[in-house]
Amino acid sequence: MGRIAGPLDDVAGDAGHIGHPPRMGFFTDTSVCIGCKACEVACKEWNAIPEDGLTFTGMSYDNTQGLGADTWRHVAFIEQRKPLGLQDPGVEHGSYDAYDGVDVLGMASEAAARGGDGDRGELRWLMASDVCKHCTHAACLDVCPTGSLFRTEYGTVVVQEDICNGCGYCVPACPYGVIDQREDDGRVWKCTMCYDRISDGREPACAKACPTDSIQYGPLDELRERAAARVEQLHDAGVDDARLYGDDPGDGVGGDGAFFLLLDEPEAYGLPPDPVVTTRDLPSMWRHAGVAALTLLGGMAAAYAAGRRR
Amino acid sequence: MSEAEVTREGSLGQRPGREASPGSEGGRRRRRGGRRGERAMVPDAEFRSYYGRPIIKAPTWAATDIAGYLFLGGLAGASSVLAFGAEVTGRPALARAAKAGALGAISLSTAALIHDLGRPERFVNMLRVAKPTSPMSMGSWILVAYGPAAGLAAVTDATGLFRRIGRAATGWTALTGPAVVSYTSVLIADTAVPAWHEAYRELPFVFAGSGAAAAAGLGLVAAPVRETAPARGAAVFGAVLDVAATRLLERRLGPIAEPYRTGRGGRLMRAAQALTVAGAAGAAVFAGRSRAAAALCGGALLAGSACTRFGIFEAGRASAEDPRYTVMVQRGRREPSG
Ligand code: SF4
Ligand code: SF4
Ligand code: SF4
């Protein structure tokens, strides 16, 4: 039995794998996501995931709504009013302003109407491709009573669909709201980090399809280094909002196998700000339950003792 | 570019990560005006979410199945304790009623559990492994340890056969029964559901009290008045424990306990408290005098216990569906002042 909380260097080894490959993961850099949803589509295609409703939500360009049994990659769209700096076209024109006369969707005039000191770009459009975090301490895996969920040699978390009996326990256990039950099927489904592809030395379908390298796949150690450098780069460029999410092995889930670079608070993206694996508290839960059971025995004994006197 | 050579050992060669910096002021302006990027303009005062959508997934469980399972499991486990006491203190009618109640309740609760599975035919997969980190796995084994013995206890009592074995089985169910009652609280607390997880200290005691009250209720309904003195005591004990632990829970959780006070969960919890308190008070005062009064009080206690479990179930669901609770818990942890 592995550790249930805290930093853990060798997840796969902790789960009993010997001579395993390095832990693989995703670094999703949302700052370069263009919201094309290629990842969503590639995932659906590769994994033959059924259609799950064609709805119009009014939530910006997001009609997928969230991760679920039939959505293993989900691109979030967030529209914000936020005074931004200008994009640099990378060309010097002297006194000539390349932005003059540009009126895309009335944004420029709107910016002008809002006053400002010539700053344009009042609208900020955040896009982020969400996915299962393949937690170091995965609550879904911990609570699964059948052993259907398991830790692979790559340190990822995968459901064995031939074993899952659809008890649904993993669903409310996941602190990120990732895994869900497919209604007509009864079993639960989520991202496998393309177990079939990575076992064959290929990168996951979503990462492969991503045209901007917003989704980067690789050994987790390497990704963490790359992410740290990227945040620094953004901070140097004046993007002070840039932060990493899920990269810290000291966090409540022991760090995510799939972590992110965000440009706003996690809540804005529908992510929990400080998730903790529920099983961290399990020893204490069992202790409390034990004391409660003894209290029940004691109370009943007292009822009999009192009953005799009457 | 997306070209990287990925092998079994991982990706070879560094990918040229994208280096765009959207939203920054760009090198040219920065050189002129220094750092004027998108620093937080307004501190985030109000609660934020992604279009109000929940952060975690609410349980997929059906209330009738799983809240029913919690109630019936509590009734069964506590009834076994009541039965054992009745047996050793020479109250055969109470013992028989409690044993039969325990068997009926555990059978129904197991049926409810199986009914709720997405793949009921795969129920036996629960017994593939024994996982201490999974309360549902532990619970399945507790049911295996308890259920057949409860059957044996009830059947030997009803038929009068194999009395010694029956007595041993009764003793065994009295030992394992409390585990059946309290483990279900761990079952729901070991989730990311704010109203359940945050309440993990009090829930086992609520469940123990509620289970005792239900078992007492069943005893009052089914046994003759001359044998129900212990059941009346158990009713008072159960009600006091249930109500006190619930109060404590609400106080300690503060705003996170809101789903226990509002909406469907709140209505059920209020009904539960009224029924449990009335049932226990009635049991203490009137149930020793008339069978009809005893049955009425017993019914109230049973209904109260059921309402408690359904109320807790609904409160949990409401707390999962509103991202506010998830954020409140986690922000509160990070910033002790909040
Ligand atoms: S994000 Fe949820 S589903 Fe994915 S590994 Fe973590 S707990 Fe499991
Ligand atoms: S639904 Fe399936 S994968 Fe999830 S906990 Fe139950 S058996 Fe395990
Ligand atoms: S890794 Fe594979 S299964 Fe997971 S989101 Fe990407 S394409 Fe889908």
Shared domain check, A225 and A156: yes
Instruction: Look up residue A62 and give its amino acid.
Output: D
Shared domain check, A257 and A306: no
Backbone dihedral angles phi then psi of residue B73, each to the nearest 5 degrees: -60, -45
* DSSP assignments along A19-68, one per residue: SPPPPEEEEEEGGG-----HHHHHHHHHHTPPP-------STT--S-S-B
Q: List beta partners, residue B260.
A: none
**What pLDDT does A96 receive?**
55
Per-residue pLDDT reduced to its tens digit, B46-65: 689 999 999 999 999 999 99
pTM: 0.89
Per-residue pLDDT reduced to its tens digit, B215-252: 999 999 999 999 999 999 999 999 999 999 999 999 99
Would you say residue B20 lies in a domain? no
Q: Chain B: residue nearest A219 by CA?
A: B10
Interface touch A278/B192, C-beta < 8 Å: yes
Cβ distance B181 to B75 under 8 Å? no
Q: How far is it, in rounded angstroms, from Cα B171 to Cα B178?
A: 12
- Here the tokens at position B289 are 């005098």
Interface contacts (A, B; CB < 8 Å): 376
Would you say residue B53 lies in a domain? no
C-alpha distance from residue B160 to each of A76, B99, B152, B163 (Å): 67, 13, 11, 6
* DSSP assignments along B274-314, one per residue: HHHHHHHHHHHHTTTT-HHHHHHHHHHHHHHHHHHHHHHHH
Which chain B residues are closer than 8 Å to A185 by Cβ?
118
Q: How far is it, in rounded angstroms, from Cα B96 to Cα B224?
A: 11
Interface touch A301/B85, C-beta < 8 Å: yes
Q: Which of A100-109, A217-226, B90-99 has the lowest mean pLDDT?
A: A100-109
Domain count, chain A: 2
Name the residue of A26, A191, A200, A210 whose CB sits within 8 Å of the most ligand 3 atoms, as the mutation to test its pocket.
A191
Shared domain check, A288 and A271: no
Shared domain check, A175 and A151: yes
- Here the tokens at position B56 are 């975690």
User: Does any ligand 1 atom lie closer than 6 A to the CB of residue A133?
Assistant: yes
Atom of ligand 2 nearest to the CA of A146: 7
Would you say residue A73 lies in a domain? yes
Q: How far is it, in rounded angstroms, from Cα B104 to Cα B86?
A: 18
Would you say residue B156 lies in a domain? yes
Domain of residue B279 covers: 59-260+271-312
Shared domain check, A288 and A187: no
Shared domain check, A256 and A190: yes
Cβ distance A165 to A7 under 8 Å? no
CB atoms within 10 A of CB A230: 22
Does residue B8 register a pLDDT over 70? Answer: no
Burial class (CB in 10 A: 0-12, 13-18, 19+), A34: middle
Shared domain check, A209 and A175: yes
Instruction: Closest CB to A181: pick one of B35, B118, B197.
Output: B118
Q: Chain B: residue nearest A269 by CA?
A: B50
Interface touch B60/A180, C-beta < 8 Å: yes
User: Does any ligand 2 atom lie closer than 6 A to the CB of residue A218?
Assistant: no
User: Does any ligand 2 atom lie closer than 6 A to the CB of residue A166?
Assistant: yes
- Reported as a pLDDT band with limits 50, 70 and 90, residue B288 is confident
Per-residue pLDDT reduced to its tens digit, B68-78: 999 999 999 99
Residue nearest atom 4 of ligand 2, based on CA coordinates: A170
Which chain B residues are closer than 8 Å to A203 by Cβ?
4, 6, 11
Burial class (CB in 10 A: 0-12, 13-18, 19+), B250: middle
Would you say residue B66 lies in a domain? yes
* DSSP assignments along B211-255, one per residue: HHHHHHHHHHHHS-GGG-HHHHHHHHHHHHHHHHHHHHHHHHHGG
Interface touch A85/B6, C-beta < 8 Å: no
Cα of A251 vs its chain's centroid, Å: 14
Would you say residue B207 lies in a domain? yes
User: Does any ligand 1 atom lie closer than 6 A to the CB of residue A179?
Assistant: yes
CATH number, domain at B112? 1.20.1630.10
Shared domain check, A225 and A268: yes
Shared domain check, A163 and A19: yes
- Reported as a pLDDT band with limits 50, 70 and 90, residue A82 is confident
CA angle B60, B66, B71 (to 5 degrees): 160
Would you say residue B94 lies in a domain? yes
CA angle B282, B283, B287 (to 5 degrees): 100
In which residue are the tokens 């460029």 written?
A: A237
* Residue whose C-alpha is closest to residue A146's, from A134, A162, A131: A162
User: Does any ligand 1 atom lie closer than 6 A to the CB of residue A190?
Assistant: yes
* Residue whose C-alpha is closest to residue A139's, from B191, B62, B110: B191
**What pLDDT does B121 receive?**
94
State percent of chain B over pLDDT 90.
Answer: 83
What is the A138 CA–ligand 3 centroid distance (Å)? 17
CATH number, domain at A256? 3.30.70.20
**What pLDDT does A309 receive?**
54
Q: Chain A: residue nearest B201 by CA?
A: A288
Would you say residue A104 lies in a domain? no
Shared domain check, A299 and A231: no
Would you say residue A187 lies in a domain? yes
Would you say residue A257 lies in a domain? yes
User: Does any ligand 2 atom lie closer than 6 A to the CB of residue A33?
Assistant: no
User: Does any ligand 2 atom lie closer than 6 A to the CB of residue A144?
Assistant: yes
| Sign (positive or negative) of CA dihedral A224, A226, A232, A237 | negative
Domain count, chain B: 1
Would you say residue B247 lies in a domain? yes
What is the A206 CA–ligand 3 centroid distance (Å)? 5
In which residue are the tokens 């002129």 written?
A: B32
Which chain A residues are closer than 8 Å to B126 by Cβ?
145-146, 165, 167
What is the A188 CA–ligand 1 centroid distance (Å)? 12
Shared domain check, A293 and A261: no
Beta carbons within 8 Å of A229's beta carbon, 6+ residues apart: none
Does residue B188 register a pLDDT over 80? Answer: yes
Interface touch A268/B50, C-beta < 8 Å: yes
Interface touch A146/B211, C-beta < 8 Å: no
Interface touch B6/A290, C-beta < 8 Å: no
In which residue are the tokens 């619970």 written?
A: B139
Does residue B154 register a pLDDT over 70? Answer: yes
Q: How far is it, in rounded angstroms, from Cα B125 to Cα A24?
A: 29
Domain of residue A304 covers: 280-310
Atom of ligand 3 nearest to the CA of A46: 7
Does residue A108 register a pLDDT over 50? Answer: no
Q: Chain A: residue nearest B320 by CA?
A: A172
Which chain B residues are closer than 8 Å to A187 by Cβ?
118-119
Q: What is the mean pLDDT of residues A8-12?
A: 93
Shared domain check, A285 and A168: no
**What pLDDT does A98 receive?**
53
Q: What is the mean pLDDT of residues A126-134?
A: 97
Atom of ligand 2 nearest to the CA of A181: 1
What is the A75 CA–ligand 3 centroid distance (Å)? 13
> Residue A74: nearest ligand to its CA?
3
Q: How far is it, in rounded angstroms, from Cα B216 to Cα B228?
A: 9
Interface touch B56/A174, C-beta < 8 Å: yes
**What pLDDT does A87 receive?**
57
* Residue whose C-alpha is closest to residue A193's, from A223, A160, A221, A217: A217
Does residue A129 register a pLDDT over 60? Answer: yes
Interface touch B134/A145, C-beta < 8 Å: yes
Greater pLDDT, A91 or B77? B77
Interface touch B118/A289, C-beta < 8 Å: no
State the best of A148, A304, A308, A310 to mutate against chain B, taking most chain B CBs within 10 Å.
A304
Residue nearest atom 4 of ligand 1, based on CA coordinates: A132
Q: How far is it, in rounded angstroms, from Cα B191 to Cα B198?
A: 10
Q: How far is it, in rounded angstroms, from Cα A294 to Cα B204?
A: 11
Q: What is the mean pLDDT of residues B131-157?
A: 97
- Reported as a pLDDT band with limits 50, 70 and 90, residue B44 is very low
Beta carbons within 8 Å of B142's beta carbon, 6+ residues apart: B176, B179, B180, B183
Interface touch B178/A294, C-beta < 8 Å: yes
**What pLDDT does A288 receive?**
98
Q: Chain A: residue nearest B35 by CA?
A: A238
Greater pLDDT, B18 or B326? B326
Per-residue pLDDT reduced to its tens digit, A250-290: 999 999 999 999 999 999 999 999 999 999 999 999 999 99
- Here the tokens at position B221 are 């309904």
Atom of ligand 2 nearest to the CA of A188: 1
Would you say residue B27 lies in a domain? no
Least Cα separation, residue B23 to chain A (angstroms): 6
| Sign (positive or negative) of CA dihedral B281, B287, B289, B295 | positive
Residue nearest atom 2 of ligand 2, based on CA coordinates: A164
Cβ distance B77 to B305 under 8 Å? no
Would you say residue A265 lies in a domain? yes
